[in-house]
Structure 1
């Protein structure tokens, strides 16, 4: 089957992160088995979603992982010109949710199986499909943890996030946290009888703002990124139930994005420490829970993988991107990783997301070149 035909099947699966991915995982397994592969299905701890791994070539030899996530973001609140969950060809473009981020890459992986099988691989290609990437790379860690019992240590991983088929060498790390402040409710006519959680939240928001300003002025800095320093931003604030009730609860969701070498957990801990100093336990209580986290992808010391992708794609490498991926997780597990996939990140998560047939063809050409490389011994 062509990448376009497989992409149509994948786009029709409307599974969203945070719930069962039975539809899209079943579609992936169907195409793997149709090609004669026997995929390993790895159920996550949630019980209703799975990662999938399939191998072409000798399993006991170090090879290359092609990795992509099966989930897509919601279309809620968006106005599309066509059904987002039906692949629609229009004006030379293929429209549908996930076409660029990143079912286009998955379609190429699946479409290339016959050529990979016929290539006489001396080193294997592993096709890895993960879940819940869009809500914090939650599935990939379980897949990575299972690899030592399934295959020889991989030599490299190509994560196919949309990069215009340009090899990307690094990205920032991230940790997102929800901070909950609890006070005491009272009638608004007697504010002294309550403990206003929103006021405490306001103090903490200012502390987050000031910490971000300090990171911008004091660093550390890495000029490969824009901005060239770590950041901390408060993105969501929820507090109060009615204007005539002293609010007894305020929630602040904030995220830290760090340059390689900077620890997001350390910056998060600084925010928590500041919150506890501003809001002593004898007045209000402070609790927290992590929403998502993934490590940065640092530039590799060994340029071998980057040089290979530059040769296979014909594109010069990008030093860094601002978005995060599962590549940092593979790198942290000792598997050299790089980002390279079809489509442009600017189209992701938006209405009328699309990919070009030429971009799918370019991705397949990269995988064809990879097969030749792995067949050379």
Structure 2
């Protein structure tokens, strides 16, 4: 089982101007937004609002198969400028990119609506954002993967794993959630049951020192071979 996720981009516009106009733009007695609005600072307010929502999710969004806190809003990209990458201006546009993890039991459209509603409410507290609301671009969706632990293929893989590695320690479950995503989601969308089982440690995934233990790789090949033979009825 794996959670679903969205690739979300949130954009904010400002009023780009020379950095020398900052005082007039933000200080009492100045011209205010007509002198300039820094989109970067306005976008920071959106990020802070979503950090509050993420903290709320840590309490309210749970699933017995997943560790606490997995369902989250991960800001991975933040960018703003006035058309050139220079600190000599106040940015007239900015965007932040998020990876949004949601629980298997949730309606994806409801998750999207919750995020947009939360940002909208936060924007109402800022005069500029109230008149120039953030815009949302839902760039991709990776659906949930969920195969019942009662599916016969699960039994085959558990037996094959035990035959190669020995039975798991007492009290440790034979199956667990996958705290990432894989092509299993898209296979299942086509009606093909798919289960994730493989070597490696997610702590090294997409890292500068990404690596794989070759012993685990060889063991996994043996597990696959046993499972294929049993599933196809040629175990003998």
Answer yes or no: is the 8 Å Cα contact 1:297–1:331 preserved in 2. yes
Answer yes or no: is the 8 Å Cα contact 1:208–1:233 preserved in 2. no
Mapped to 2, the partners of 1:342 and 1:235 lie a distance apart of 26
1:238 paired with 2:79, answer: yes
1:221-370 correspondence to structure 2 within 5 Å: 221-227=62-68, 230-240=71-81, 241-277=85-121, 278=123, 283-284=131-132, 286-300=134-148, 302-314=150-162, 317-351=174-208, 353-370=210-227
1:74-85 correspondence to structure 2 within 5 Å: none
Deviation at 1:223, TM superposition (A): 2.9
Mapped to 2, the partners of 1:212 and 1:352 lie a distance apart of 28
Match of 1:205 among 37, 47, 52: 47
Answer yes or no: is the 8 Å Cα contact 1:204–1:275 preserved in 2. yes
The more displaced of 327-336 and 250-259 is 327-336
**TM-score between the two structures when normalised by the length of structure 2:** 0.73
Deviation at 1:281, TM superposition (A): 7.5
Deviation at 1:207, TM superposition (A): 1.4
Cα gap change, 1:347/1:228 in structure 2, threshold over 3 Å: closer, same or farther?
closer
Mapped to 2, the partners of 1:352 and 1:246 lie a distance apart of 37
Mapped to 2, the partners of 1:374 and 1:356 lie a distance apart of 27
Answer yes or no: is the 8 Å Cα contact 1:181–1:197 preserved in 2. yes
1:95-174 correspondence to structure 2 within 5 Å: 170-174=1-5
Mapped to 2, the partners of 1:233 and 1:276 lie a distance apart of 19
Answer yes or no: is the 8 Å Cα contact 2:10–2:137 preserved in 1. yes
Bigger fraction of residues in helix: 2
Q: The residue matched to 1:253 in structure 2 has which SS?
A: strand
Cα gap change, 1:284/1:242 in structure 2, threshold over 3 Å: closer, same or farther?
farther
**C-alpha RMSD over aligned residues:** 2.8
Q: The residue matched to 1:233 in structure 2 has which SS?
A: strand
Q: The residue matched to 1:256 in structure 2 has which SS?
A: strand
Deviation at 1:184, TM superposition (A): 1.8
Mapped to 2, the partners of 1:259 and 1:186 lie a distance apart of 43
Mapped to 1, the partners of 2:37 and 2:151 lie a distance apart of 57
Cα gap change, 1:360/1:289 in structure 2, threshold over 3 Å: closer, same or farther?
same
Q: The residue matched to 1:215 in structure 2 has which SS?
A: helix
- Structure 1 residues 100-141: Cα deviation after superposition (integer angstroms, max 9, x where no partner): xxxxxxxxxxxxxxxxxxxxxxxxxxxxxxxxxxxxxxxxxx
Deviation at 1:342, TM superposition (A): 2.7
Deviation at 1:215, TM superposition (A): 1.4
Answer yes or no: is the 8 Å Cα contact 1:300–1:336 preserved in 2. no
Cα gap change, 1:343/1:281 in structure 2, threshold over 3 Å: closer, same or farther?
closer
Match of 1:85 in 2: none
Deviation at 1:339, TM superposition (A): 0.6
The more displaced of 357-366 and 246-255 is 357-366
1:6-85 correspondence to structure 2 within 5 Å: none
Q: The residue matched to 1:209 in structure 2 has which SS?
A: helix
How many corresponding residue pairs? 207
**TM-score between the two structures when normalised by the length of structure 1:** 0.48
- Structure 1 residues 30-79: Cα deviation after superposition (integer angstroms, max 9, x where no partner): xxxxxxxxxxxxxxxxxxxxxxxxxxxxxxxxxxxxxxxxxxxxxxxxxx
Specify every segment of 5 or more residues in structure 2 that has no aligned partner in the other structure, as ranges: 26-31, 169-173
Deviation at 1:276, TM superposition (A): 4.0
